[in-house]
């Protein structure tokens, strides 16, 4: 069942087969989550299509349902939502701790109903991940914020437009504040805003709902508040992280994969890295093809906010560079503690040394299958990629992380030749 990740499930891959064929990208998880929360801003029906069937989407729908939102799947990937009867304004710890994006209930609830009680996310495997930028922005919009018993309690009889300079271009804070500002009185300017394609997608839906937003996709977003929003239909953008993962799968297995739906404009930093490492790719109208016919050269990568190299593709690239020629470095600047996959890759024979936020990778000529453990969403897929390239069998445990962000990944990969199977936990 798509909404339930089994804690004990494992994925077993037998490596060494070049992957070949076509793979279709699903809708973007990181776009769909804020879009689903945005429907809280109106009492009219909204329809979202290309919504991926993932555990995080299931968690979001569960949270929305608990708030009083009614929803219906119209077909495999299209959902209709109505927030007419919202009667609860709380996102509980049990859900927020499993999915940090639940914190995105704060902006819409506060803007439409004047109050919200949302658990703080707490720590997670990839670092502390505080919410101070969200809260500072909400206060500038006129909300009173109280932190009590692990919850943020926010109130505002009416939000007022304000100048919101962000100390860091946080994706989640930009989304939360963008949603809140749509119904504020007057003009809001978000400066040093995140520029990710998912922000642009959110602004597109909000504008289709009657909001007045300009500048999304740049570092300065201007929002002219309106008194109410209405229903709208929207198609979620393709998942650039999933697309980048499949493109990397072609490179690491010396395969030949056409990734239908991959958008070069969303993947410029990855393609630039491919160009520097000598990985051959061609950009086509409806997707991108990678032909991995030789070991990639070493390269130095630094993760940065968009349009820089995405932290969500860092682990996958580390797997690829483990099999590169010469040495590479990866500097992680977005999250602390996001190198936990490195030690697992070492178990497969990679030569990686981590010091602080810099990983140095000396390319080796082959990896060997071994049991490894997934520690977070992107780490788990990097182990899968390494396993697909390794000699012998790799068993990845704790794959419930994978189910949060990759739709039917075993099925998609096996269609292009991967020898991969899920083993039910015991
Ligand atoms: C989103 C993505 C995630 C991606 C990340 C960075 C979703 C659902 N998730 O996460 O996949 O890895 O962007 O591209 O879209 N920070 C603060 N204070 C805050 C908010 C953030 O210090 O109030 C820090 C975080 O601790 C982190 C950095 O800013 O070190 C980036 O966080 P942010 O951009 O907010 O990431 P998310 O929105 O959580």
Residue bearing tokens 């968690």: 59
Taking CB atoms and a 6 Å cutoff, what residues make up the pocket around ligand 1? Answer: 30, 33, 100-101, 127-134, 168, 170-173, 198, 311-312, 334-335
The three-state secondary structure class of 20 is strand
Where does the pLDDT of residue 8 fall: very low under 50, low under 70, confident under 90, or very high at 90 and above?
A: confident
| pLDDT tens track for 400-425 | 888 888 999 999 999 999 999 999 87
Q: Is the pTM of this model over 0.95?
A: yes
For the residues 32-47, what does the mean pLDDT come to?
98
Name the residue with higher pLDDT: 97 or 322: 322
56-70, 107-121, 126-140: least confidently modelled range: 126-140
| pLDDT tens track for 160-211 | 999 999 999 999 999 999 999 999 999 999 999 999 999 999 999 999 999 9
Mean pLDDT of the chain: 95
For the residues 20-47, what does the mean pLDDT come to?
98
Structure tokens at 341: 């996959």
pLDDT at residue 1, rounded to an integer: 52
Q: Which of 334, 382, 406 to probe ligand 1 with, by most ligand atoms within 8 A of CB?
A: 334
Q: CA 29, 253, 394: angle at the middle one, nearest 5?
A: 80
Q: What percent of the chain has pLDDT over 90?
A: 88
pLDDT at residue 426, rounded to an integer: 64
Residue 42 to residues 176, 188, 226: CA-CA distances in angstroms? Answer: 15, 20, 12
- Report which of 42, 419, 6 is spatially closest to residue 211, judged by C-alpha positions: 42
pLDDT at residue 403, rounded to an integer: 87
- Whether 399 has a pLDDT exceeding 70, the answer reads yes
- Looking at the CA of residue 136, tell me the nearest atom of ligand 1: 23
Where does the pLDDT of residue 336 fall: very low under 50, low under 70, confident under 90, or very high at 90 and above?
A: confident
- Whether 19 has a pLDDT exceeding 70, the answer reads yes
- Sheet bearing 46-49, strands edge to edge: 70-75, 78-82, 46-49, 233-235
| pLDDT tens track for 375-398 | 888 889 999 999 999 999 999 998
- Looking at the CA of residue 198, tell me the nearest atom of ligand 1: 15
93-102, 160-169, 183-192, 222-231: least confidently modelled range: 93-102
pLDDT at residue 148, rounded to an integer: 92
Residue 27: strand pairing partners: 238
| pLDDT tens track for 240-253 | 999 999 999 999 99
Contact 36, 81 (CB under 8 A): yes
Centroid of ligand 1 to alpha carbon of 297 (angstroms): 30
Centroid of ligand 1 to alpha carbon of 194 (angstroms): 10
Would you please indicate which residues are annotated as catalytic (active-site) residues?
A: 124
Residue 158 neighbours by CB distance under 10 Å: 12
Residue nearest to atom 28 of ligand 1 (CA): 334
Residue 194 to residues 128, 177, 198, 372: CA-CA distances in angstroms? Answer: 19, 11, 9, 34
- Whether 129 has a pLDDT exceeding 70, the answer reads no
Q: Which of 172, 337, 406 to probe ligand 1 with, by most ligand atoms within 8 A of CB?
A: 172
Where does the pLDDT of residue 293 fall: very low under 50, low under 70, confident under 90, or very high at 90 and above?
A: confident
SS3 per residue for 322-370: HCCECEEEEECCCCCCCCHHHHHHHHCCCEEEEECCEEEEECCCCCECC
Question: DSSP alpha helices (H): ranges in 213-337?
Answer: 240-252, 268-277, 314-322
Centroid of ligand 1 to alpha carbon of 411 (angstroms): 30
pLDDT at residue 236, rounded to an integer: 98
pLDDT at residue 3, rounded to an integer: 57
Structure tokens at 134: 């969200």
- Whether 107 has a pLDDT exceeding 80, the answer reads yes
Centroid of ligand 1 to alpha carbon of 389 (angstroms): 31
Q: What percent of the chain has pLDDT over 70?
A: 97
Distance, in Å, from the CA atom of 304 to the CA atom of 153, rounded to the nearest integer, reads 32
Contact 265, 257 (CB under 8 A): no
Distance, in Å, from the CA atom of 321 to the CA atom of 343, rounded to the nearest integer, reads 14
Where does the pLDDT of residue 124 fall: very low under 50, low under 70, confident under 90, or very high at 90 and above?
A: low
pLDDT at residue 125, rounded to an integer: 58
């Amino acid at each position: 069942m798509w909404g339930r990740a089994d804690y004990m499930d494992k994925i077993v891959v037998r490596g060494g087969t070049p992957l070949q064929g076509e793979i279709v990208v699903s809708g973007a998880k990181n776009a769909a989550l804020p879009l689903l929360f945005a429907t809280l801003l109106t009492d009219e029906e909204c329809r979202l299509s290309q919504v991926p069937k993932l555990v995080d989407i299931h968690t979001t729908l569960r949270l929305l349902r608990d708030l009083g939102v009614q929803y219906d799947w119209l077909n495999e990937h299209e959902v209709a939502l109505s927030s007419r009867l919202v009667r609860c304004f709380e996102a509980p710890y049990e859900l927020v701790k499993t999915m940090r994006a639940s914190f995105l209930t704060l902006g819409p609830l506060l803007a439409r109903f004047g109050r919200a009680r949302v658990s703080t996310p707490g720590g997670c495997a990839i670092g502390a991940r505080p919410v101070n930028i969200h809260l500072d922005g909400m206060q500038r919009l006129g909300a009173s914020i109280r932190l009590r018993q692990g919850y943020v309690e926010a109130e505002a009889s009416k939000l007022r437009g304000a100048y919101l300079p962000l100390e860091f271009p946080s994706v989640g804070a930009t989304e939360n504040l963008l949603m809140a500002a749509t119904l504020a009185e007057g003009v809001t300017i978000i400066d040093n805003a995140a520029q990710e394609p998912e922000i642009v997608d959110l602004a597109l839906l909000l504008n289709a709902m009657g909001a007045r937003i300009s500048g999304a996709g740049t570092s300065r977003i201007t929002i002219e508040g309106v008194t109410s929003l209405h229903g709208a239909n929207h198609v979620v953008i393709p998942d650039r992280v999933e697309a980048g993962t499949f493109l990397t799968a072609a490179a690491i297995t010396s395969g030949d994969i056409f990734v239908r739906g991959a958008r070069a404009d969303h993947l410029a930093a990855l393609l630039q890295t491919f160009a520097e490492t000598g990985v051959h790719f061609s950009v086509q109208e409806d997707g991108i093809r990678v032909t991995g016919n030789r070991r990639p050269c070493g390269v130095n990568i630094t993760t940065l906010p968009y349009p820089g190299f995405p932290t969500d593709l860092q682990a996958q690239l580390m797997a690829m560079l483990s099999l590169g020629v010469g040495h590479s470095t990866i500097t992680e600047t977005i999250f602390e503690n996001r190198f936990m996959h490195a030690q697992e890759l070492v178990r497969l024979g990679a030569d990686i040394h981590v010091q602080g936020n810099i990983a140095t990778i000396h390319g080796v000529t082959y990896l060997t299958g071994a049991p490894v453990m997934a520690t977070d969403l992107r780490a788990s897929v990097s182990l899968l990629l390494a396993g697909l390239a390794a000699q012998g069998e790799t068993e990845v445990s704790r794959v419930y992380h994978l189910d949060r962000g990759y739709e039917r990944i075993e099925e998609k990969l096996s269609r292009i030749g991967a020898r991969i199977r899920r083993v039910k936990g015991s």
